[in-house]
């Protein structure tokens, strides 16, 4: 009777999750311990009957072990083991397991933070699952864009509803649909967004003409400064998508609106511009290819200033934009800019009138009044 009790106690002390190899007969004992810890954490149960010890993966350096409730894989790149099971495992098999394009897992099967769903991240992409939309791959440029927009919590995308689909339309080579929109890839490795979640072809690109028309300038200096306002420097106009990617004009360039170098100004009296640095009632036109989605998503015009007042009697004065959106390291300096959303132009009959004030902080001031208009070509 005593022997039976002792034998029963020994059985109860045996690890019911995994039969770890001893240190003496397995050089990968530490990896086996990692796997056993993951199996316990996720309650994967005992080792599956088809395999009593961990095995090397087809891809060099890795190991795996199957349990009754799932698998644990050791990723040699990150020196860690990860648990995966159910529909995620089936989906991973479609990609060829660790030898396929996804590679090894780099996370466990994990609940999404604030919406009902799960994900597993891999070396080269992710698999996402939601109760309504199923289980789908997300990788590459689509995953990057989805991340920028807020993953499954994105107001413009949500969970994926398809895998990538191959196409050949207008330079675009594939798309992926989400709950609230569709992403297209191609055409110079750009990602194009459509707010149609069922779209199978990229949204039409419309050519727009952006016109900058200065309508007046004004300025002045303190009464004891006899030089007057004599400007040199430059202004620059550029167009950007909401994500900060620049949209080049039809010639593939971005041009300065005005540029009078200091040495040119000082060498040629004919370039003394005074308040007429910016010629009024003259149109400066740029042509861009944008989509209605770009406009809807707050694509914007950026005007960058670097203006200086040339003074003979004292040091030159840098005129800083008073109400700047921000500043940017650009053209060998840190320069203030103002951003104007295309929506702001469109909602006022495709035209907006604006004033930008600049000052050196000690009395010199300059105001630029202008009209921005947007029209289809």
Placement of tokens 């914007």 in the chain: 300
- Secondary structure letter of residue 178 according to DSSP: B
Range of 225-229, 272-276, 314-318 with top mean pLDDT: 314-318
| Average pLDDT of the chain to the nearest whole number | 83
Return the higher-pLDDT residue of 108 and 231: 108
Residue with tokens 């004891």: 224
pLDDT of 16 higher than 50:
no
Please, what sign has the CA dihedral across residues 173, 252, 351, 305?
A: positive
Contact between 294 and 301 (Cβ < 8 Å): no
47, 67 Cβ separation under 8 angstroms: yes
Provide mean pLDDT across the span 87-93.
Answer: 98
Question: 179: closest CA among 144, 120, 133, 119?
Answer: 133
- Return the closest-CA partner of residue 211 out of 349, 346, 351: 351
Mean pLDDT of all residues in 311-339:
82
- Nearest Cα to 164, choosing from 244, 88, 145, 130? 145
- The Cα–Cα gap between 134 and 138 comes to 13
Tokens of 188: 């110079």
DSSP string for residues in 135-160: EEEE-HHHHHHHHHTTGGG-SS--SB
Tell me the three state secondary structure of residue 194. strand
Contact 363, 376 (CB under 8 A): no
For the segment 37-46, what is each residue's pLDDT rounded down to a tens digit?
Answer: 999 999 999 9
Residue 340 pLDDT > 90, yes or no? yes
pLDDT at 11 over 60: no
Structure tokens at 325: 């959106």
**Top CATH class, 206-376:** mainly beta
Q: Mark 237-251 as b/e (b = at least 16 C-beta within 10 Å).
A: bbbbbbeeeebebee
Helix (H) or strand (E) holding 99: none
Is pLDDT at 161 greater than 90 in this prediction? yes
pLDDT higher than threshold 80 for residue 355: yes
- Band (pLDDT 50/70/90 cuts) for residue 216 is confident
User: Would you kindly state where each structural domain of the chain is located, as residue ranges?
Assistant: 14-108, 206-376
**Angle at Cα 188 formed by Cα 287 and Cα 141, nearest 5°?**
120
| pTM of the predicted model over 0.85 | no
């Amino acid at each position: 009777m005593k022997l039976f009790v002792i034998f029963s106690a020994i059985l109860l002390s045996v690890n019911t999750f995994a039969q770890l190899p001893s240190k003496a007969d397995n050089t990968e004992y530490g990896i086996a311990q990692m796997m056993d810890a993951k199996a316990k954490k996720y309650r994967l149960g005992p080792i599956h009957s088809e395999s009593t010890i961990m095995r090397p993966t087809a891809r060099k350096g890795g190991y795996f072990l199957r349990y009754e409730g799932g698998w644990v894989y050791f990723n040699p790149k990150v020196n860690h083991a990860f648990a995966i099971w159910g529909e995620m495992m089936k989906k991973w098999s479609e990609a060829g397991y660790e030898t396929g394009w996804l590679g090894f897992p780099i996370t466990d099967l994990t609940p999404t933070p604030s919406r009902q769903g799960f994900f597993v991240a891999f070396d080269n992409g992710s698999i996402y699952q939601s109760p309504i939309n199923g289980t789908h791959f997300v990788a590459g440029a689509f995953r990057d864009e989805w991340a920028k927009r807020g993953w499954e919590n994105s107001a413009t995308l949500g969970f994926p509803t398809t895998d990538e689909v191959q196409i050949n339309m207008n330079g675009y080579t594939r798309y992926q649909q989400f709950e609230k929109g569709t992403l297209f890839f191609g055409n110079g490795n750009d990602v194009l967004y459509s707010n149609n979640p069922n779209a199978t072809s990229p949204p039409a690109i419309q050519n727009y003409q952006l016109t900058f028309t200065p309508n007046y300038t004004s300025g002045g200096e303190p009464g004891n400064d006899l030089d007057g306002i004599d400007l040199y420097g430059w202004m620059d106009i550029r167009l950007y998508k909401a994500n900060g990617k620049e949209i080049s004009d039809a010639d593939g360039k971005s041009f300065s609106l005005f540029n009078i170098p200091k040495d040119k100004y000082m060498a040629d009296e004919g370039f003394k511009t005074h308040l007429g640095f910016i010629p009024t009632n003259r149109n400066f036109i740029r042509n861009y290819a944008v989509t209605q989605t770009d406009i809807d998503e707050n694509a914007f015009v950026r005007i960058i200033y670097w203006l200086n007042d040339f003074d003979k009697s004292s040091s030159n004065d840098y005129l800083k934009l008073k109400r700047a959106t921000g500043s940017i390291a650009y053209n060998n300096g840190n320069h203030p800019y103002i951003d104007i959303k295309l929506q702001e132009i469109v909602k006022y009959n495709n035209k907006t009138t604006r004033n930008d004030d600049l000052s050196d902080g000690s009395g010199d001031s300059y105001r630029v009044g202008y009209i921005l208009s947007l029209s289809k070509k």
